[in-house]
Structure 1
Amino acid sequence: MKLERLLTMIMILINRKKVKAQELADLFNVSVRTIYRDIETLSCAGVPVISQQGVNGGISLIDGYRVDKQVLTKEELTSLSIAIKSALTTYEDSHAKAVLEKITSVADDNIKQSIDQLFIDLSPWGQNVLFKEQITLLKTAIEHGKCVSFTYSTTHGRITKRLLEPHTLVQKGKVWYVYGYCILRGDFRLFKISRMKDLKEELTTFQRKEVNLSELPWDKEWHQPQNVVDLTLSFDSTITTLVEESFGAEHIDHEHSTIRISIPEDEWLYGFLLSFGHRITVIEPPHIRQIVQERATEIVKLYKDLQ
């Protein structure tokens, strides 16, 4: 919308002092001619915009021009800025960047200092360009109501072709998922983005379905009684801190160095238990103990065969 573009332009000029017309055109995905028309509109509205030609030229505001800084409190500005900066570590969003520009333009030095005191980087280690592209594509598809197609690999290695009506991006723990209506299964499903290959936005559109996200529907599916197992584990006291972080202190009996917890059973659980090596032992149930033992034996055999 033009009004939103004009407001954002004012905030950018307050913050940066001078900006090239081409840079604004690229930011808003419009022509340079449109930017100059916007400048005329702002001038007619009483906003003191200056346009200078030449190598060091650009668009700027008369020194001293300000906007009201009391729209949000210092704490609100700080919290909003931190949230936006965190989101931008995982995907590209010109609107979020524009909002951050607006906040920075009205923030005093104390607010800017508070913002820099906490930075939440949600991106994986290293320059994972593909991951950021996937997140950006999914976010765009959700906003535009477009279906996406992809090849999906389950924990058991089964590969299927999926067509999805994406509804919501979900970060659970350190992992990103997309929650949406799967055409193949005829129901809502949660897909781990790292297992999605050949992700594409399709021309097919969809009407968003009513979903109460405040109830965390993916959690309900995860903790269905048929998927949950009651675990009893013993652990080496030298890893007490790690055990508390991994399972939660409320599930630990420190006197007997045991853990009792109800948790969904799948391939992730087996790998998770194996990650503790010899410092955790499965007491109950017997079938989990048997599975972990078999996996450990396979690992030992694999490395023996390499000798």
Structure 2
Amino acid sequence: MKSTTQLAQRISLILVELNKGKRIDVNELADEFNVSIRTIQRDIKERLNFLPWDELGPRFYRLDRQKLDILTEEDIQRFALFASVSNLFPEIDKVFYQEKLTQSVQVKGVQYENISHLKEQFNELQLAIQQNKLISFKYKK
């Protein structure tokens, strides 16, 4: 199995356990994945450092559930995949994707306006951005 796949699986499991409100033990995880304790600590401190921690090691870790919305399985898989290949990106891309992933797991306010009817316009906008086209718009609320 590729090391990036192993890393993605490890990060996914860690996030799933944390998301369930569980307290994780780096010793148990190291045994389960047949890696060093230092590897698990590095996963947590370097790859998951943006999460709001209630308990932060050195052996036990737990999220502050009051500061974090529940992660969806898709959020977990997306982040785990990114974490496993992040070393392939230049630093600026890492920062950009880290910010986007963090935003995807943050609590969204209930008072945001519904813009689902503008999906086609956003698809066009996304395509224009990907093609590096100049974009301008006026926003009226």
- TM (norm. structure 2) is 0.39
Q: Which has the higher strand share?
A: 1
- TM (norm. structure 1) is 0.20
Q: Which has the higher helix share?
A: 2
Which structure is larger by alpha-carbon Rg, 1 or 2?
A: 1
Question: Structure with the greater relative contact order (CA < 8 A, sep ≥ 6): 1 or 2?
Answer: 2
